Amino acid sequence: MEIKDIEKLATLARIRISDEEKVTFLTEIDAILKYVGEIQKATLGASHTEVGAVYNVLREDGLANTPGQYTKAILAEAPEVAENCIKVKKIL
Amino acid sequence: MAIDLKNLTIKKAHEDLLAKKYTVLELANAYLENIKKKDSEIHAYLEVFDDISAQAKVAQEKIDSGTAHLLTGIPFAIKDNILIQGKTASASSKILEKYHATYDATVIKKLRDVGAIFIGRTNMDEFAMGGSTENSAFGVTKNPHDISRVSGGSSGGSAAALAMDGCLAALGTDTGGSVRQPASFCGVVGLKPTYGALSRHGLIAMGSSLDQAGTFAKTVADTEILFNTLAGQDKMDATTLKSDTYAPSPIKKSLTIGIPRHAMEKGIDSEVLSNFEKTIKQLKELGHTVVDITLPNIGYALSVYYVIMPAEVSSNLARFDGVKYGLHVDGKNSIEDYFATRAEGFGKEVRRRILLGTYVLSSGYYDAYYNKANALRKKIGNDFVEAFKNVDVIMTPTTPSPAFKIGEKTNDPLSMYLADIFTVTANLTGMPAISIPSGFTQEKGVSLPLGIQMTAPHGQEAILFALGKDFLGEK
């Protein structure tokens, strides 16, 4: 792994990191990957595609809450609000 | 009257409240006084709530009208990643420092319904990533047994709050040992239930296939009360268990305990090992059988965990973007807002794990890391299922060492990860595990608690409670 790989990961993850931190992350992530890379040595038999006893399901489509039930509380947490909407920057 | 908090249990407090030896408010005030005295040094709490007398009033009415539950009026500390409607839930992160929960987590709703008291929210490693609370954006929680040492983590605040008599019970979350490890370091009982036993609705997600809400209490009997109150299917969490997902096993009077000795050959403190041998001897004297077992793939458990967990972390934490809630740092345009907000809002360990997770999920490495880890996870689970054909419980120390010094591992993330060696397996397999105090070790004149971890098959918490009570001599 090189500095440019850390930069690529940071771009994918949408996190800005300083030049100084790129260096420490490079060393640390390299060491961690070396450790977890042990799993390459394992031989596999079982498939991981089996479904366990519990799994996620989607509920039936429909109204889960009364319209507007949480609107006020949720908008109160937004960084910027305009007319009952969360305000975001222009993207086009 | 002065209440003897040190020897108080949920059971005892419940009896006292019913007998009107003291009121709910008097009990809460006794804890608040203790917090005032001790918490400026320990820093278990991020916030002590200002509505405790109003909560106490509701609970007292339940007691006075004869509709009290075992947990009515019992003072709880709540980890800061569990939502309480209207209260701040920061997950000890700057990105959520000013965020208020817009609804109750299911575990909170259940406690609220029976009239439990929420004393405050407790410190933790940021987004539950860490084993010492040193990754909190708001300072470290010190161990009440030795303030130069960590309380453990990530639920270190909850464990320390209980150990310093700053509450009578506490909630935490456990993704790789985050309830059991701090419980062991602080000398209390910590339970990570079966995956799906407790609802995850309203827990700030870290690794969704591993996360589980857990409990802290002083005794196994109290832990059982907490578990029985909080467990159950929840329509808000599709992964919760139905009452018949796992059939209960009858509990034998004499249990067979399996020890994976081959996994305990290196990296474990000698005092931890000798305490473990002493525990085995005690269990044999109580009439249980102890046998050696083999878990062929357990050597891969920590590596598997440190691939799957960061992968899930990187996905779960993508939601924090400075748009909908939480911190917003302004950039030139909306994409720059994301980069700036996440850089300023996330601490170092969180960013490190997001990058690591992004790596193991990225094209070209996905099969070698993430897929391989998932396949191995299944194999490790099968190893446990096989072992449980011959034993009722599998036992190890909870941690390879007692609580370490503050700062000892902060510059070496990998050495911090190695402390999770015994605890991650229960999260990978989804099986229940409990950490129970097993004595103390002396380090330079200070007594530091040690713990043992017992794991049972899916849905068999009752076996852990039975053996735990037997071991601690509880009725």
Report the gap between the CA of A57 and the closest CA in chain B (Å): 6
CB B170 within 8 A of CB B78: yes
Flag if A77 and B372 touch (Cβ within 8 Å): no
Confidence of residue B1 (pLDDT cuts 50, 70, 90): low
Residue A25, domain extent:
3-40
DSSP labels, B76-112: EEEETTB--TTSB--TT-GGGTT-B-SS--HHHHHHH
Q: What is the three-class DSSP state of A20?
A: helix
Rounded (10°) CA dihedral B8, B13, B19, B21: 60
At residue B4, the pLDDT reads 96
pLDDT digits (tens, 9 = 90+) for B218-233: 999 999 999 999 999 9
Residues of B with catalytic roles: 79, 154, 178
Tokens (6 digits) for B136: 């909190």
Q: Identify the residue among A5, A18, A26, A36 best suited for mutation to test binding to B, counting B beta carbons within 10 A and taking the highest.
A: A36
CATH number of the structural domain spanning residue B44: 3.90.1300.10
| Distance separating alpha carbons of residues B344 and A20, to the nearest angstrom | 15
Give the residues across from B203 on adjacent strands: B82
pLDDT digits (tens, 9 = 90+) for B238-266: 999 999 999 988 899 999 999 999 999 88
DSSP labels, B272-315: HHHHHHHHHHHHHHTT-EEEE---TTGGGHHHHHHHHHHHHHHH
Report the gap between the CA of B6 and the closest CA in chain A (Å): 40
Q: In chain A, how many domains are there?
A: 1
Spatial CB neighbours of A22, under 8 Å, sequence gap ≥ 6: A3, A6, A7, A10
State yes or no: pLDDT of B414 exceeds 90: no
CATH number of the structural domain spanning residue A18: 1.10.20
Which residue among A53, A79, A86 places its CB closest to the CB of B245? A53
Q: What is the three-class DSSP state of B19?
A: coil
pLDDT digits (tens, 9 = 90+) for B264-320: 988 899 999 999 999 999 999 999 999 999 999 999 999 999 999 999 999 999 999
Flag if A39 and B348 touch (Cβ within 8 Å): no
| Number of Cβ atoms within 10 Å of the Cβ of A19 | 8
Residue B168 CA from chain centroid, whole number: 15
Q: Which amino acid is at B376?
A: L
At residue A51, the pLDDT reads 72
Identify whether A30 is part of a domain: yes
Identify whether A53 is part of a domain: no
| Distance separating alpha carbons of residues B391 and B234, to the nearest angstrom | 31
Within chain A, strands assigned E span 81-82, 85-86
DSSP-assigned letter for residue B48: E
ipTM entry: 0.94
Least confident of A66-80, B117-131, B195-209, B454-468: A66-80
| Distance separating alpha carbons of residues B81 and B155, to the nearest angstrom | 10
Please name the residue of chain A whose CA is at the shortest distance from the CA of residue B418. A35
| Distance separating alpha carbons of residues B455 and B430, to the nearest angstrom | 10
| Distance separating alpha carbons of residues A21 and A15, to the nearest angstrom | 12
Mean pLDDT of A13-23: 96
Chain A residue numbers with beta carbons less than 8 Å from the beta carbon of B343 are 15-17
| Distance separating alpha carbons of residues A43 and B118, to the nearest angstrom | 49
| Distance separating alpha carbons of residues B213 and B231, to the nearest angstrom | 10
pLDDT digits (tens, 9 = 90+) for B67-115: 999 999 999 999 999 999 999 999 999 999 999 999 999 999 999 999 9
Rounded (10°) CA dihedral B230, B233, B235, B237: 70
Q: In chain B, how many domains are there?
A: 1
Flag if A32 and B377 touch (Cβ within 8 Å): no
Chain B, 387 to 446: residues with Cβ < 8 Å from chain A are: 413-414, 417, 430
DSSP H or E segment with residue B452: strand B446-455
DSSP-assigned letter for residue B340: H
Residue B346 CA from chain centroid, whole number: 22
Q: Select from B177, B216, B286, B232 the least CA-distant residue to B74.
A: B216
Give the residues across from B452 on adjacent strands: B397, B436
Chain B, 202 to 261: residues with Cβ < 8 Å from chain A are: 235, 238-241, 245-246
Chain A residue numbers with beta carbons less than 8 Å from the beta carbon of B361 are none
pTM of the complete model beyond 0.95: yes
| Number of Cβ atoms within 10 Å of the Cβ of B157 | 36
Q: Select from B170, B142, B146, B143 the least CA-distant residue to B158.
A: B170
Q: Which residues of A52-78 are buried (b: 16+ CB within 10 A; e: fewer)?
A: eebeeeeeeeeeeeeeeeeeeeebebb
pLDDT digits (tens, 9 = 90+) for B15-58: 999 999 999 999 999 999 999 999 999 999 999 999 999 999 99
Q: Percent of chain A, pLDDT > 70? A: 93
At residue A49, the pLDDT reads 63
| Distance separating alpha carbons of residues B291 and B306, to the nearest angstrom | 30
Chain A, 48 to 77: residues with Cβ < 8 Å from chain B are: 48, 50, 52-59, 70, 73-74, 76-77
Mean of pLDDT over chain B: 96
B447 in contact with A, Cβ within 8 Å: no
Residue B17, domain extent:
1-475
Q: Select from B382, B379, B207, B398 the least CA-distant residue to B307.
A: B207
Confidence of residue A50 (pLDDT cuts 50, 70, 90): low
What end-to-end distance do the CA atoms of chain A give, in Å? 36
At residue A45, the pLDDT reads 63
